[in-house]
Structure 1
Amino acid sequence: MTTPISRRSLFGTIGAAAAVLFIAGCSTAAPTPAESAADQSLITELGFEGMSAKDIITELDTLPVAERSTQLMASIRPAELILMDATKREAAVPMPADEFYVSVAPYVSQTHDCHFHSLTTCRGELANQDVAVTVTNDKTGEVLVEESLRTYDNGFMGLWLPRGIDATLTLGFDGKSATQSLSTKGNDDATCVTTANLS
């Protein structure tokens, strides 16, 4: 019988690892869907039993950086959330059928390459900052988001958007602005956007 991992040990202090990950950006060791073994018992051990992908993402992406686990890798793909523990066991949780998650880290002077968002390692430049956000459906002109959002402690902000669209993201911060194209159409579309340069 496996012993459940406590939430306290899972979300222990990152310490020096946080500084390394900040410099390196998102980890390149994130699992791919093809490698994922559907070990659903892992979800229970990680403390996520009964939670949807949306619930898990909200919990992990909004967690203070100092409480993020070094024992967990969580990678957001368009179709699924992939969880991997320190022993490299993996489990996949399906994403909502009608919603697509995009995590955005606007920046002024420092960024990193990223395509699929890692909930435990990705760090952006502007942590805990208020940013004006507008998202518009390119085809219909419908404004999907128009509000001030505060970046999480990891420097990212999360957007749940309709699937199957092309959209334009406009950001405003400290008198600077950025415009970014988004797509929620395919299984290779980015869930991590780190190219919105505020200028």
Structure 2
Amino acid sequence: MTSLSRRTIISGGLGLFGSTVLVACSPTIPDTGSVGTADALEPRARQLLAAHGIQASTAEDAVTALDQVSQRRPLALTGSVGYDQVAFADDSDQVTVPLTGGQFYLSMAPYRTQTHECYYHNLGGCQGELTDTPIHVTVTTDSGTTLLDEDATTGANGFTGLWIPRDHTGTVTITAADTTASTLFNSGPDGPTCLTTLHLA
């Protein structure tokens, strides 16, 4: 079991995101100060997303839709997800918008033979090994509360993304066929939104 209390420094596949460097799975979220309180996406964000076929009324909807795009990564549109904001970008524009729904996006990529290091999930960049794979996910807090206990299927990117309450720590367990993997999660301000240490064995 790998502790997720420290940030992972990763390398490879660099691309410019304004003045911020992004990688396939981004280690940093741009510092934009106050993220605001508006629930609806601003017109500029809607325009950027629509240019890539994503229709969404909120940032949360956009995160879910982009993560579920049925193409292998990388995509032309990226989206780096943090605790309370998401940074969308393509070759011509970038916009950071708040996640105002009060939940934390946790995206998980179980694997059997290969994985990659990640901290903040990149919706258009991260590619996991096991695509279109039925799994069962259980998310339990350190106090024993079960936040999620449900079946899911990994997408074309090899990930399954779930919204969970913010500010909890605990354990994620994934079962696929006759194999199981577990790792720690942290849905607090410094917690990773990308879990790639779930080795099915």
The alignment's TM-score, normalised by the length of structure 2, stands at: 0.75
**What is the alpha-carbon distance in structure 1 between the residues aligned to residue 169 and residue 70 of structure 2?**
31
Partner of 1:57: 63
**What is the alpha-carbon distance in structure 2 between the residues aligned to residue 198 and residue 99 of structure 1?**
27
State the shift of 1:31 in Å.
6.9
State the shift of 1:27 in Å.
1.4
Partner of 1:81: 86
Change (3 A) 1:75 1:134: same
**What is the alpha-carbon distance in structure 2 between the residues aligned to residue 108 and residue 66 of structure 1?**
18
Query: If you compute each CA radius of gyration, which structure gives the higher value, 1 or 2?
Result: 1
Secondary structure in 2 matching 1:34: coil
Per-residue deviation, residues 75-112 of structure 1 (Å, max 9, x unmatched): 1111101011203x321121135210010001111100
Secondary structure in 1 matching 2:150: strand
Partner of 1:170: 173
Contact (CA 8 Å) 2:74, 2:126: kept in 1 or not? Answer: no
* Unaligned 5+ runs, structure 2: 1-11, 14-22, 36-41
Q: Percent identity?
A: 32
Change (3 A) 1:43 1:196: same
State the shift of 1:74 in Å.
1.1
Contact (CA 8 Å) 1:31, 1:84: kept in 2 or not? Answer: no
State the shift of 1:57 in Å.
1.0
Question: Which of the pair is proportionally richer in helix?
Answer: 1
Partner of 1:128: 132
Partner of 1:44: 46
Contact (CA 8 Å) 1:63, 1:153: kept in 2 or not? Answer: yes
Partner of 2:7: none
Secondary structure in 1 matching 2:96: strand
* Unaligned 5+ runs, structure 1: 1-19
Bigger shift: residues 89-98 or 107-116: 89-98
State the shift of 1:183 in Å.
0.5
- Give the counterpart letter for 2:164 in structure 1: L
Per-residue deviation, residues 114-133 of structure 1 (Å, max 9, x unmatched): 11111111110110011111
Partner of 2:30: 33
Pairs within 5 Å for 1:48-197: 51-65=57-71, 69-70=75-76, 72-87=77-92, 89-139=93-143, 141-186=144-189, 188-197=190-199
C-alpha RMSD over aligned residues: 2.5
- Give the counterpart letter for 2:82 in structure 1: R
- Give the counterpart letter for 2:95 in structure 1: A
Alignment length (residue pairs): 170
Secondary structure in 2 matching 1:196: coil
Bigger shift: residues 146-155 or 44-53: 44-53
The alignment's TM-score, normalised by the length of structure 1, stands at: 0.76
Change (3 A) 1:67 1:191: closer
Secondary structure in 1 matching 2:61: helix
Secondary structure in 1 matching 2:126: coil
